[in-house]
Amino acid sequence: GTADFVLLSKTAALAPAAAVSLSFWMKPNAWDMTNGSNQDYFLGCVSSGGWGIYLNNSGSQVTTLEFIIKVTTSGYLYAKMDTSTTEALSGWKNIVATYDGETAKLYVNGGTTGITQEAGASGQTISYDNTNSTPIMLGSDALNDTDGQNFYHGLLDDVAVFNDDLSAAEVLAIYNDGVPFDLTADKGDYGSSGDLVGY
C-alpha cells in the first residue's frame, strides 16, 4: 500500500525549490523486475512535475534504479544506475538523491558505482504541478496511481526530505557503514539536520 508523507504546496517551504535531497533505506521484494513496463516508486511527488525515485522496467525485462526531477528550462533530468549494477543489488540499501540547481545525483550505500548523473543548465529551480498540491507518496508516484501500476513492493525505512543538496561526505555519513542514525541531530560529517522538511 501507500501512505501520504507530507503535503507539498506551491507556496510552502515543504516544496523545496532551489535544491532537494531525499534519503531512505529500502529492501525491495526483487531488484530484477519481471512485471512488464512498470515503474515501482519508492518515494515520489510526480504529477506534471516534481521528483521521484523508482525501479524502472523498460519492457524488455531490463531494470534500472532511477531518480527523476523536473526543473525549469531543462525539463526532466534523470540520474540512473545501470541494469547490471541494479540487478546485482540485494538486501537493504541506503538510497540518496540530490539536486543542487544543476545536477541530479543518485547514491547507493554512499557511492556512485554504475550510476550516470545528469546535469542541466545552472541555477534552475524545481518545477512542481502548477495546478495541484501533490503529496509525497511512499510506495507510489502520485495520487492518481489508482490501478497500482507504480506501487512499490518491499520495505522502506528512515525516509527524509531536505530543502538543500547534501554533500558527498554527508551522504556517506548517512550510510554510516549500514547503521542508520537519527537525522534530526548533526553528527560527524552530517550537518543538515536543520534542512529537514520531512522525516
Taking only the tens place, the pLDDT of each residue in 115-141 is 999 999 899 999 987 766 667 778 766
- Tell me the β-bridge partners of 44: 52, 137
Closest alpha carbon to 65 in 20, 100, 35, 96 = 96
pLDDT at 5 over 50: no
Quick one: pLDDT at residue 108? 97
DSSP string, 1-67: --EEEEE--TTSTTS-SS-EEEEEEEEES-SS--STT-EEEEEE--SSS-EEEEEEE-SSS-EEEEE
Average pLDDT over all residues of the chain:
84
d(CA 185, CA 103): 27
Own/partner contacts of 175-184, CB < 8 Å, gap of 24 or more, are 175/94, 175/96, 175/107, 175/109, 175/110, 178/92, 178/94, 178/109, 180/25, 180/94, 183/23, 183/158
Cα of 139 vs its chain's centroid, Å: 11
Least confident of 9-18, 71-80, 173-182: 9-18
Check residue 94 and report its DSSP letter: E
How many other C-beta atoms can be found within 10 angstroms of the C-beta atom of residue 64?
A: 22
* Band of residue 1 on the pLDDT scale cut at 50, 70, 90: very low
Name the band, by pLDDT with cuts 50, 70 and 90, for residue 151: confident
Task: Give the residue, 47 or 56, on which the prediction is more confident.
Answer: 56
